[in-house]
Chain A
Amino acid sequence: MTARFDVLRYPWVRRLVVSRWPQYLVRVTLLALFLLAVLVGWLGTPVGNRNFAIVGVWIAWWAVLILVAVPFLGRAWCSVCPLPLPGEWLQQGSLLGPRGRGGWSLGRRWPRRWRHIWLQNAGFTVLALFSAVILTRPGVTAWVLLGLVLLAVGVSLVYERRAFCRYLCPVGGFIGLYAQAAPLELRVKDPAVCAAHTEKACYTGNEQGFGCPWGTFPLGMVRNDVCGLCFECLRTCTYDNLALNIRPLGADLAQRRGAKLDEAFKAFILLGSALTYAAVFLGPWGALKDAAYDVGAPSWWGYAALLVGLSWVILPGLFSLGVWAGRPRLSWRRAFTVLAYALVPLGLAMWAAFSLAFVAASVAYVLPVLSDPFGWGWDLLGTAGWAWRPVLDGWLPLLQAGLLALGAFWSVRTARGIGAIWGWPRAVYPVAGYVALMTGGMLWLLLG
């Protein structure tokens, strides 16, 4: 089952991605919108649902990211993300393409003992702990956004390549895990050509482009998490040996290579936060919302304990019990790691189902805010006064139920694949039980 279709065989697609301009224009536009969001976050109305910072980032961007970009295009967001752009400009000493002179970076290699995504896991959890505040207070959102850009600039000035993206960005780890389910990949065409190519332009860079900003050597790449789809290697490779493939859904998940414990944990952090968010933001429990919002209060510590306990202890603990019950022939740690990837499709479905409800209820804020981004009483588009009404309400339950069922099916199927690879056919049963439990919980939270 290695069905692949290289879209670069169409000359116009090739031109579109190899040329720097289209990507650059999108990125610069997004950077401008990003700076606007920071500015509006500070200067605009403190009412979140009338402020462009909140509505533009947490509703519009989030909807596109989780419902379209990640499931269908994997890391495509990273391809156009504005967050690391200022840092890259400084690091490369150039606004567009290599200039043959260095930038202003010490260019250190990222320390070996930090080459994992535990920091991303921690960063995501910390953001989740404060999410009720971040999602509702424009000023806080603005500081978080600016903080991330400044961190990215700082990291670019000390370390080489996009170390921030690969090892620190709290969104990056999440996209990287779920991108492995996406039906799009960048891979080498003929491994023999790469093996014989001593210059390895894709990794070192040349006049045509930079060495892989994600520090990835394409030949060794087996999963999507380490490729930011920046297309530099398409520009640098002297042998035209790279393909941008359409592939079956979930193609990275069931394979021998590239499974990592830090990423396995990410799967549980995402399940835990999806369940918690569904309860906090969509549930009817006012006390829970207060707890998530009253940062520092005893009830907030309770919320923090719930979120951290669920994602870091209870969910992985329960899963490891299942792994143990499945009597693997691998070491416990290895078995836990390889099998956790089976939960990726369900996790993605749970996030999509949650986000659909969240977005359906909030998308009606978008047009009024576009018309009056600061909340100062402007009416640029004549839509400032549009009444709030949720959309999709008749279809939402069907879509959510369908998504969750599809995720459950696909997860169990992936578990069967992983079991087949590792000669561990029983692995599928604990996963099936776990998936049933998670799906039931999410269905109850969303539709109960």
Chain B
Amino acid sequence: MRNFGEWRWGIGLVVAVLVLGLPVPQPQAKPQERVFRVTARQFAFEPPVLQVNPGDRVVIELRSSDVVHGLYVEGYDVEAVAEPGQPDRIVFVADRPGTYRLRCSVTCGDLHPFMGGKLRVGRNPWLWKGAALALWGVTLALFAARPRTREGGR
């Protein structure tokens, strides 16, 4: 009985790892150049969410409407810094699918640490893998894993 219990844990884990390895289909559009004119203000980027397809060449023209702001793309490690009247430009190829945070990288006021946006490259595989993994966890808990109680009984 005990062995069987341990077996179930093992199978549960193996399936979890397999779920994490599942490929997430990505849009198969022809790569193109995408130009975004992003305006930074205290404390937001407009537009806040940039959507591209994997392989697209991304051009971000950053301008500021009040103080100095930066735009740092997490995961791609590129950064633009714009002063009012002095726009900046970054170009990169978004070759890895996922959702990447855009963050202001120049201290610009109280809410600066929370100023951000998102770059969505295709579908974020982690969102779907996370959902599948959670579903697997719930299923496992519902039907396989024996519950643990203080009273010891089932």
Contact = CB atoms under 8 A, between A and B. Distances in A.
Contacts of A443: 127, 130-131, 134
A83 B147 CA distance: 38
B75 A393 contact: yes
Interface string A367-401: 00000000000000000000011100110011011
Nearest to B48: A284
Q: Which of A248, A293, A413 has the most CB of B within 10 A?
A: A413
Interface stretch (A168-176, A317-325, A416-424): A416-424
A289 B16 contact: no
Contacts of A362: 113
B43 A436 contact: no
B84 to A, nearest CB: 17
Interface residues of A, number: 68
Contact of A448 (B20, B99, B102, B138): B99
B134 A439 contact: yes
Nearest to B132: A405
A289 B43 contact: yes
Contacts of B153: 420-421
B148 interface: yes
B43 A252 contact: no
A45 to B, nearest CB: 10
A49 interface: yes
B46 interface: yes
Given A390-B74, A401-B129, A47 B111 contact: no
Interface in A264-319: 280-282, 284-287, 289-290, 293
B89 to A, nearest CB: 20
Q: How large is the interface on B (under 10, 10 to 19, 20 to 34, 35 or more residues)?
A: 35 or more
A256 interface: yes
B141 interface: yes
Contacts of A408: 134, 137-138, 141
A285 B44 CA distance: 7
Interface string A348-365: 000000000000011001
Contacts of B130: 397, 400-402, 404-405, 443, 447
Contact of A447 (B20, B41, B112, B126): B126
B98 interface: yes
B127 A255 contact: no
Given A284-B118, A420-B154, A443-B131, A255 B149 contact: yes
A136 B110 contact: yes
A234 interface: no
Given A293-B111, A401-B129, A405-B136, A447 B99 contact: yes
A21 interface: no
Contacts of B135: 436
Contact of B142 (A284, A290, A428, A448): A428
Interface string B98-128: 1111110101001111111110000010110
B127 A251 contact: no
Contacts of A411: 141
B112 A289 contact: no
B14 interface: no
B44 A287 contact: yes
A2 B148 CA distance: 10
Interface string A413-448: 111111111000000100010011001100110011
A413 B16 CA distance: 16
Nearest to A406: B137
A342 to B, nearest CB: 10
A420 B146 CA distance: 10
B18 interface: no
B103 A289 contact: no
A118 to B, nearest CB: 26
Contact of B147 (A286, A400, A417, A435): A417
Interface of A: 1-2, 47-50, 132-133, 136-137, 222, 248, 250-252, 254-256, 280-282, 284-287, 289-290, 293, 361-362, 365, 388-390, 393-394, 397-398, 400-402, 404-406, 408-421, 428, 432, 435-436, 439-440, 443-444, 447-448
Interface of B: 16, 20, 41, 43-46, 48-49, 72, 74-75, 98-103, 105, 107, 110-118, 124, 126-127, 129-131, 133-138, 140-142, 145, 147-154
Given A282-B116, A285-B44, A404-B130, 12 more contacts: A1-B148, A136-B114, A248-B148, A286-B43, A290-B111, A398-B126, A405-B137, A409-B137, A410-B137, A421-B150, A440-B131, A448-B127
